[in-house]
């Protein structure tokens, strides 16, 4: 008899039939006696279609106007889903981001949620209504419409679950849960029953694509009980929680990949205290997300090179910012390598298992794959490799760390 937040992504509401199906999934929870707050994304490819329209008009649309444009996508979804719920005899009301009191910072296209006025939703919940909230969007204190960036609807759902003190947050998507690797690339990948926030965070950041990283972070910070499940198949999903069940003998729980990676190297920077800070503060100021950073600082040398990886779509902006601040940063040259990919292994058990990184490098070397950059954390190791080798790399690692479903069975029967 609790309060549940359900989130449905674009493919889950991609057509009138899908919306009607989603209405039925919501009705099941209402019939179980729960109060339900729903978060939806824009229908299927509608966001892309709107973005295409903008592109026809200008190659560099104003971020404010892009937010104005794109937020209509979710507004269409919430209206249609509410109508579908009415058809099932449920009392439902739709709310845009600003109507739901989702206050964000003023960064268009990539705003973070600052606060949620939960009373704006609770007053409807208390009236017995299903509240259908537009994901991905919010409003600034000045009344400007903002969006949360790609995958932002997940963040909306988790933030709402946290603000409302929801008992559960179910993220419905087009896959049945979190897998040991992308099943499209590794056919022997299997679904995880549970995963910890930290591992999920690494996987989300590493491009597993199932959940938006900020959503996982928010869930961890507020201890929101998160489930990833399918709106297409009525099967159990993957639970994301603080302490996930450790599968015996598995140090690595998943292999992730990301294919839009570019490596940038800024050459001949002054080798002095403050160089790194100056460079990355500048990029942050322009909202360029840098991923892996490598700086082999050789003591005594006057000039040093700093390499970093970023999403390929941010490359032009990054190059422009670097060019405009060349004098200030005092460097000699910038070079970049597109067509890179990042493959990563993730597992909470890694901390207590030395040699995991070494095993990864070994597997990649045996597969003849060149490693361009390396980054490690307590629970993951990432390598930037040429994109052409990405699939081979993921498969090799999945196998090397004993995640292959079939291989497992074979070895068990031996």
Binding site membership for ATP: which residues? Answer: 7-10, 173-174, 184
Nearer to a second copy, 58 or 248 (CB): 58
Minimum distance from residue 298 beta carbon to a second copy (Å): 47
- The rounded distance, in Å, linking the Cα atoms of 277 and 307 is 14
Q: Which residues bind a second copy (CB under 8 A)?
A: 16, 19-20, 50, 53-54, 56-58, 61-62, 64-66, 68-69, 71-73, 75-76, 78-80, 82-84, 86-87, 93-94, 96, 98-99, 143, 145
Which amino acids are annotated as binding site, given as ranges? 7-10, 47, 74, 173-174, 184
Nearer to a second copy, 30 or 383 (CB): 30
- The rounded distance, in Å, linking the Cα atoms of 116 and 237 is 28
Nearer to a second copy, 28 or 62 (CB): 62
Residue with tokens 């339900």: 36
Minimum distance from residue 312 beta carbon to a second copy (Å): 24
CB 230 within 8 A of CB 253: no
Minimum distance from residue 195 beta carbon to a second copy (Å): 36
Q: Kind and range of the H or E element at 270? A: strand 254-270
Of how many residues is the chain composed? 414
Strand order in the sheet with 380-386: 290-294, 303-311, 254-270, 333-346, 380-386, 373-377
Minimum distance from residue 73 beta carbon to a second copy (Å): 8
Nearer to a second copy, 53 or 351 (CB): 53
Residue with tokens 């002054």: 270
The rounded radius of gyration (Å) of the Cα atoms in the chain is 23
Nearer to a second copy, 68 or 334 (CB): 68
Minimum distance from residue 30 beta carbon to a second copy (Å): 17
Which amino acids are annotated as binding site for substrate, given as ranges? 47, 74
Minimum distance from residue 36 beta carbon to a second copy (Å): 17
State the SS3 of 334-401. EEEEEEEEEEEEECHHHHHCCCHHHHHHHHHHHCCCCCCEEEEECCEEEEEEEHHHHHHHHHHHHHHC
Minimum distance from residue 66 beta carbon to a second copy (Å): 7
Minimum distance from residue 67 beta carbon to a second copy (Å): 8
Q: How distant, in Å, are the alpha carbons of 5, 305, 336 from that of 333?
A: 50, 9, 10
Nearer to a second copy, 16 or 410 (CB): 16
- Smallest CA-to-CA distance from 226 within 163, 175, 162 is with 162
CB 189 within 8 A of CB 405: yes
CB 267 within 8 A of CB 334: yes
Strand order in the sheet with 226-230: 92-95, 130-134, 35-40, 3-8, 168-173, 226-230, 238-241, 194-196
Nearer to a second copy, 15 or 297 (CB): 15
CB 163 within 8 A of CB 118: yes
Q: How distant, in Å, are the alpha carbons of 66, 102, 106 from that of 143?
A: 16, 11, 10
Nearer to a second copy, 95 or 306 (CB): 95
């Amino acid at each position: 008899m609790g309060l549940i937040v359900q989130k449905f992504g674009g493919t889950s509401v991609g057509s009138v039939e899908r919306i009607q199906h989603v209405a039925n999934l919501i009705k099941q929870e209402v019939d179980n006696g729960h109060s339900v707050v729903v978060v939806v994304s824009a229908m299927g490819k509608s966001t892309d279609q709107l973005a295409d329209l903008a592109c026809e008009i200008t190659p560099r649309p104003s971020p404010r106007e892009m937010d104005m444009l794109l937020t209509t996508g979710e507004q269409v979804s919430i209206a249609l889903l509410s109508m579908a719920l009415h058809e099932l005899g449920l009392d439902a009301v739709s709310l845009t981001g600003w109507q739901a009191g989702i206050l964000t910072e003023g960064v268009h296209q990539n705003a973070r949620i600052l606060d949620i006025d939960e009373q704006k939703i609770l007053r409807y919940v208390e009236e017995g209504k299903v509240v259908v909230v537009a994901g991905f969007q919010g409003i600034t204190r000045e009344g400007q419409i903002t969006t949360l960036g790609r995958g932002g609807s997940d963040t909306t759902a988790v933030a709402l679950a946290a603000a409302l003190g929801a008992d559960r947050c179910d993220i419905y998507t087009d896959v049945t849960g979190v897998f040991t690797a992308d099943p499209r690339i590794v056919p022997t990948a299997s679904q995880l029953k549970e995963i910890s926030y930290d591992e999920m965070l690494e996987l989300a950041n590493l491009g597993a694509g199932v959940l938006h990283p900020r959503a996982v972070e928010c869930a961890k910070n507020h201890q929101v009980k998160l489930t990833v499940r399918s709106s297409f198949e009525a099967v159990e999903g993957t639970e994301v929680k603080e302490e996930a069940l450790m599968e015996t003998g598995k140090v690595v729980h998943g292999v992730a990949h990301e294919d839009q990676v570019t490596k940038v190297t800024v050459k001949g920077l002054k080798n002095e205290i403050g160089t790194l800070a100056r460079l990355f503060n500048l990029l942050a100021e322009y909202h360029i997300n840098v991923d892996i950073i490598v700086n082999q600082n050789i003591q005594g040398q006057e000039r040093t090179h700093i390499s970093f990886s970023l999403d390929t779509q941010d490359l032009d902006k990054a190059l422009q910012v670097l060019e405009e601040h060349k004098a200030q940063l005092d460097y000699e040259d910038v070079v970049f390598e597109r067509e890179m990919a990042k493959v990563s292994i993730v597992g909470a058990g890694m901390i207590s298992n030395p040699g995991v990184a070494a095993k990864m490098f070994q597997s990649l070397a045996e597969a003849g794959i060149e490693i361009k950059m390396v980054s490690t954390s307590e629970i993951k190791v990432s390598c930037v490799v040429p994109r052409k080798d990405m699939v081979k790399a993921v498969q090799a690692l999945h196998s090397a760390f004993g995640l292959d479903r079939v291989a497992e069975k074979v070895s068990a029967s031996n």
